[in-house]
Every structure is written in C-alpha cells, then in structure tokens.
C-alpha cells in the first residue's frame, strides 16, 4: 500500500555551536482516513514534527514522502505547490487575514491553486462554510466572529482546496470546552464521512482520546504509536 504520508528516519537538527535536536529517528506512516492525536510534554518536538510532516520544514536526515513521492529533492516552490494542493494547516491562532471577509479568506488559497473558476470557487467556499455551520459568517470580517467561529473559519480555509490531509497544531488551545468539542467533531467528520486524514497535536486529553490512533513524543522521539 502506498501511504498517504511516510516519514523514514526523520531527524531535524538546528545547526550552530551547540546544535539542537528537535526530533530524531522518526518513522511514521499514515494511511488515508486515519485520525491521529499527537501528545507529549511541552518542548518534546510536537510542533517540529508537524512542520516536517507538513513540508513546512525539511529534515536534516531521513525523508518524507507524500502519496509515494519523495519530497527530499523538491524545490521550495514544488513543496509549496504540494502543500497548497494536498495539505491543510490549522494552528492555535487562526491567522485569518483581518481585512478580508471569511469568504475571501477561503478564496485566496483557492485562487492561488487555480483549480476552479471564480464562480465555482465561491460556490464551493460558501458550501464548505455552510457544511461547518458557518454560512452566516461568509460575508463577515474575522473581528465580527466569536473565537470559536474564527477557528472554524480557519478550518474551512484549510479545507478550501480539498486536501487529503489536515495537520493541526494545538487547534483548541484558545478555545473553551464546548468549542474544542466542536472542532474535534469536525475532525471526526472529515475522517469518517470524507475519508480525509487528520493529524492533530493537542494537550487536551479528553479530545485526544477520540482519535483512534495515539502517538506520544518525548524528547523528540516517538515513544508510543498505537497504530505502528
């Protein structure tokens, strides 16, 4: 089987007089339709790992392949193209562009990808927002939305180009329990109903437990992977 994502022997060392190892010897394969929670102490390398899996950073050893394509030899532009087309990212902060409406925040990556014409883009973006219970947010600015709605708008933007894999780094870190649950409800639907894969880094043990596969990092190493 070709994994959706495969990391082999991945390490990332920050160079310098005293090199810092962010993650080491990571072997991790992810199939389509998998939902993985990554947990571990603060500073254990969770964000570093997510950036490597998401092609936002390059390993200093080992390799990451997406859908069977080794990314090691790719240029920065090729990596950016692959991220834009196949991956979606959600962070603790929503990073919506404040001067644009929610709809426009979704349309920006869609225009960059160029897969659909403008009419279809807008239809798809509005349908996506509606599917997340956010239809009425489309024409509002981020500042007019609640914190929970802003994070859901950020999730909608991450899904705008129909990615195979969603990567989320502490997406509920700024949310109350109810909104955290709504975010994980969405992740569950993406996996169960749409066959996407989700990798979520979280401190929230209650929500993390909902993911069928659990990965634990300590000191930059995977010390437990229930799906390996």
Q: Site for ligand ADP (CB under 6 A): which residue of 24, 35, 37, 47?
A: 47
Q: 59 to each of 127, 133, 180, how far by Cα in Å? A: 37, 38, 31
Q: Which does 125 bind (CB under 5 to 8 A by kind): Mg ion, ligand ADP, none?
A: none
DSSP tag of 17: S
Q: Decide: is 42 part of the binding site for ligand ADP (CB under 6 A).
A: yes
Instruction: Give the integer Cα–Cα distance in Å for 121 and 166.
Output: 20
Q: Decide: is 39 part of the binding site for ligand ADP (CB under 6 A).
A: no
Q: Which does 171 bind (CB under 5 to 8 A by kind): Mg ion, ligand ADP, none?
A: none
Phi, psi of 211 (to 5 degrees): -80, 135
Structure tokens belonging to residue 98: 């404040």
Instruction: Give the integer Cα–Cα distance in Å for 17 and 99.
Output: 42
Instruction: Give the integer Cα–Cα distance in Å for 186 and 148.
Output: 12
> Kind of pairing, strands 213-218 and 35-39?
parallel
Q: How far is the CB of 46 from ligand ADP (least distance, A)?
A: 3
Q: How far is the CB of 147 from ligand ADP (least distance, A)?
A: 21
Residues 6+ apart with CB under 8 A from 188: 35, 210
Q: How far is the CB of 24 from ligand ADP (least distance, A)?
A: 11
Q: Site for Mg ion (CB under 5 A): which residue of 7, 24, 30, 47?
A: 47
Q: Decide: is 45 part of the binding site for ligand ADP (CB under 6 A).
A: yes
Whose Cβ is closer to Mg ion: residue 91's or residue 160's? 91
Q: How far is the CB of 72 from ligand ADP (least distance, A)?
A: 21
Whose Cβ is closer to Mg ion: residue 23's or residue 128's? 23
Q: Decide: is 48 part of the binding site for ligand ADP (CB under 6 A).
A: yes
Query: Minimal CA–CA distance to 104: which of 159, 146, 157?
Result: 157
Q: Site for ligand ADP (CB under 6 A): which residue of 6, 7, 34, 44?
A: 44
- Strand positions, DSSP E, 76-185: 87-90, 165-169
Q: Site for ligand ADP (CB under 6 A): which residue of 46, 94, 150, 196?
A: 46
Residues that bind ligand ADP (CB under 6 A): 14, 20, 22, 40, 42-48
């Amino acid at each position: 089987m070709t994994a959706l994502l495969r990391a082999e022997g991945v390490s990332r060392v920050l160079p310098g007089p005293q090199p810092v190892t962010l993650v080491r010897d990571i072997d991790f394969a992810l199939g389509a339709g998998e939902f993985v929670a990554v947990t571990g102490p603060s500073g254990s390398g969770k964000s570093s790992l997510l950036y490597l899996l998401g092609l936002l950073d390059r390993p200093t050893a080992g390799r990451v392949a997406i859908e069977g394509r080794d990314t090691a030899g790719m240029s920065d532009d090729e990596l950016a193209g692959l991220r834009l087309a196949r991956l979606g990212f959600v962070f603790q902060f929503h990073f919506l562009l404040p001067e644009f409406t929610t709809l426009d925040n979704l349309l920006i990556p869609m225009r960059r990808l160029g897969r659909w014409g403008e009419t279809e883009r807008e239809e798809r973006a509005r349908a996506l927002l509606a599917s997340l219970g956010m239809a009425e947010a489309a024409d509002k600015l981020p500042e007019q939305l609640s914190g929970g709605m802003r994070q859901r708008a950020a999730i909608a933007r991450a899904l705008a180009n129909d990615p195979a894999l969603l990567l989320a780094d502490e997406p509920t870190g700024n949310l109350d329990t109810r909104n955290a649950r709504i975010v994980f409800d969405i992740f569950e639907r993406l996996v169960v109903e749409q066959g996407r894969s989700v990798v979520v880094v979280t401190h929230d043990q209650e929500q993390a437990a909902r993911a069928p596969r659990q990965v634990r990092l300590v000191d930059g190493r995977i010390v437990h992977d229930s799906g390996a």
